[in-house]
Amino acid sequence: MAIEFHCPYCTATVRVGDDASGKIGRCPKCDTRLRVPTIPSPAPQTAPSPETGAETPVDPPANANPVQLPTADSLQGQADPGFAGPPEGAVESPAEEALFPDLNAPKDPKTLGQLPVVPVTDDPVTSKYIRRQKKKRASLSGLIPPILFGSIFVSVGIWFYMSSQPSYEGLLEGERLNPSQSIRLEIKGADFSIDQKVFSQIVDEVRKRPSAVRSNLVNLQFSAGSKGLEISLRPGSEADLVKVPILQLEAVDQYYQEHLDTLEDARLDELKAGLISLSEDWTNAPEGEKNSTLPNYRNQVVYNSFVKGLGRICYASVGNAIYPCVHENSEGDLYFLVPVGTKEFWIKERSELPETPFFPSSFLVHVQVARPQLEEAELVPVENASEEEATGEEDSSPTSDESMEPDSDAETSPNMKSSGT
């Protein structure tokens, strides 16, 4: 229970505990000494008599003096009108300071009347969670600089690695050759592990009845040579023979020289398998139709005989059509038969071969075809070719009735066949 009264000097409302009743303290506003009003103790109550059922009055003791509570008016009359403070010579008792610590503490007029500030204590669980989140955010923010700089270093490293890798792409100028030129070579059965008796029969039959393949892109002539089967190749009526110096690209040249044996082994294996199949088909063909089996091996036997390892895996792309490489000379130049008037084409890898893709990165060569030169370019035969030089004269060998009808060498799919037409 609290005692509430008004200061008689400044009329401020003062509230103290009931244990301060009758004691002297200081007003929290004007700092004037004053006495807390005394609250009389309640009189004990007597139970009513069962007989009368009425309350028996209790007389006060004879020596009891009535307690007169001070009133605000009486106290105000004793106060200094000028609020000069306590009377001179008044002695402050230490007990008073301890009695009203809040009342006796010095007061700041700016904070007078404000509620006391009570420190707020955080919940332990909440504080622990907040500390954990702050620690987590701090740890994550500490990782941002290393991750940022690490990403930059990795990006620079990747860029440097990619830029330092050899490029198998480039732009070359192709040379359009004289359409009257031809390339000749001789396939010798002794160079391959095939039935020499059957191969000799093929050569004898071709010697008697030469065979030819004529198309809008290529003209092939099969005849008997001094030691084997001789094949002559020249452009068709609607084709240009274009020579491309592919090894001018340094990266292509270096990589090709390092893996020449691998590509050559694959080419010779395919050529050998084609010759074996040709021998079997020629043997099983009826008389009078044996030579017609020769053009069926145009890619697997004929073109594989005219090229080397690199020429075998390359083709020319003109629009949606592709054209195989028909010759590779000793200097590594590639020859392609493309439609007449072709101004540009792209050299790519064949995708259906077991050894392709051969290059470790993209292989794409853009070829711009130059105008034909006045002088004729010399065509160098491939290995196993005869010593006879390329000539511009038409072959005078007769053509048998078994010659194929005109057809097209162009493929419409990037996957060129490895055998047949």
Q: Which of 23-37, 138-152, 330-344 has the highest mean pLDDT?
A: 330-344
Q: Which of the two residues, 109 and 14, has the higher pLDDT score?
A: 14
| CA gap 79, 71 in Å, rounded | 13
For residue 179, what pLDDT band results from cuts at 50, 70 and 90?
A: confident
Cα-based distances in Å from 126 to 119, 120, 123, 139, 220: 17, 13, 5, 20, 92
pTM of the model: 0.55
pLDDT in tens, 362-387: 899 999 998 765 444 444 444 444 33
Nearest of 195, 385, 194, 354 to residue 267 by alpha carbon: 354
Phi, then psi, of 127 in degrees rounded to 5: -60, -40
**pLDDT attached to residue 48:** 53
DSSP state of 285: S
For residue 12, what pLDDT band results from cuts at 50, 70 and 90?
A: confident
For residue 45, what pLDDT band results from cuts at 50, 70 and 90?
A: low
| CA gap 174, 314 in Å, rounded | 15
**pLDDT attached to residue 245:** 96
pLDDT in tens, 101-119: 555 555 555 554 444 444 5
**pLDDT attached to residue 37:** 85
Whether residues 133 and 200 fall in one domain: no
**pLDDT attached to residue 124:** 60
Whether residues 25 and 103 fall in one domain: yes
pLDDT cut 90: percent of the chain above it: 25
Q: Which of 41-45, 249-253, 396-400 has the highest mean pLDDT?
A: 249-253
Q: What is the mean pLDDT of the chain?
A: 73
Whether residues 131 and 267 fall in one domain: no
Q: Which of the two residues, 376 and 8, has the higher pLDDT score?
A: 8
The secondary element (H helix, E strand) that includes residue 317 is strand 314-318
Q: Which residues of 295-325 are buried (b: 16+ CB within 10 A; e: fewer)?
A: bbbbbbbbbbbbbbbbbbbbbbbbeebbbbb
pLDDT in tens, 71-102: 555 555 554 545 445 555 444 555 555 555 55
Is the pLDDT confidence value at 173 over 90? yes
DSSP state of 341: T
**pLDDT attached to residue 415:** 40
For residue 394, what pLDDT band results from cuts at 50, 70 and 90?
A: very low
Whether residues 187 and 153 fall in one domain: no
pLDDT cut 70: percent of the chain above it: 63
For residue 66, what pLDDT band results from cuts at 50, 70 and 90?
A: low
| CA gap 66, 186 in Å, rounded | 153
Pairing of strands 168-176, 363-370: parallel
Whether residues 234 and 297 fall in one domain: yes
In which residue are the tokens 């101004």 written?
343
Residues paired with residue 53 on neighbouring β-strands, in sequence order? none
The residue from 118, 150, 185 where one domain ends is: 118
Whether residues 125 and 112 fall in one domain: no
Whether residues 19 and 95 fall in one domain: yes
**pLDDT attached to residue 18:** 77
Q: HEC states along 238-276?
A: CEEEEEECHHHCHHHHHHHHHCHHHHHHHHHHHHHHHHH
Residue 419 lies in a domain: no
Average pLDDT over residues 244-272: 92
Whether residues 294 and 365 fall in one domain: yes
**Which residues form the domain of 135?**
120-164
Whether residues 103 and 195 fall in one domain: no
**Domains in the chain, number:** 3
The residue from 80, 103, 118 where one domain ends is: 118
Q: Which of 26-35, 257-266, 271-280, 409-418 has the highest mean pLDDT?
A: 257-266
Residue 383 lies in a domain: no
pLDDT in tens, 300-357: 889 999 999 999 999 999 999 999 999 999 999 999 999 999 999 999 999 888 877 8
Is the pLDDT confidence value at 395 over 50? no
